[in-house]
Amino acid sequence: MDKEKIKYHIRGLLEAIGENPDREGLKETPERVAGMYEEVFEGIGYSNHEIAEMFGKTFEVSETGSQTAVVMKDITVFSYCEHHLALMYDMTVNVAYVPKGKVLGLSKIARICDMASKRLQLQERLGRDIAEIISEATGSEDVGVKITGSHSCMTARGIRNASSKTETRTYCGAFRDKRDLQELLD
């Protein structure tokens, strides 16, 4: 990430909207924004494969005759809409997968969701990215992801519908056809 370019362009943006980037409250804004972008867009620097490797710590489990699903709900993330660079907030992610002889460490599921969200995103793609990463990390094609969130491009501008929420669901493998697996995400 080129923080110097970000600072240069943020200064220009401030000027373009009619602000004085040299006034007291804005003097350090380009530097602060560059630091914030480095943090909130960290995921841009990694492919889904690299995230799966980074957070792919698994534990072996014995396979019994019964099918077990791992479900983690209400993982909080935020991201930025790639269309408006607007905040996607109050986002919760529910993830479920059917283990194939190994399970992910629970914190790794939350870390995967967090890192995948740290990109310019569409909510639909974020769900697919999380499912792809979980699938690679666990070796299971049976993955479901539900994301619910607010988008400031809907709530703070345009139609300004403050109460609207967007829900997306991604179903892979057995989740595509099995309603009982899909219901685990609710």
Catalytic residue among 9, 38, 84, 141: 84
Catalytic residue among 15, 49, 50, 83: 83
Measured CA to CA, the distance from residue 137 to residue 17 in angstroms comes to: 45
Closest CA to 134 of 172, 82, 161, 160: 172
Catalytic residue flag (residue 151): yes
Catalytic residue flag (residue 153): yes
Catalytic residue flag (residue 9): no
Catalytic residue among 9, 38, 141, 153: 153
Catalytic residue among 123, 132, 136, 172: 123
Closest CA to 109 of 88, 142, 138: 138
Catalytic residue flag (residue 113): no
Catalytic residue flag (residue 83): yes
Catalytic residue among 38, 81, 141, 182: 81
Quote the DSSP letter at residue 18. T
Closest CA to 118 of 54, 29, 31: 54
> Which long-range contacts link 177-182 to residues 24+ away (Cβ below 8 Å)?
181/69, 181/96, 181/98, 181/142, 181/144, 182/144
Where in the sequence numbering do the catalytic residues fall? 81-84, 123, 151, 153
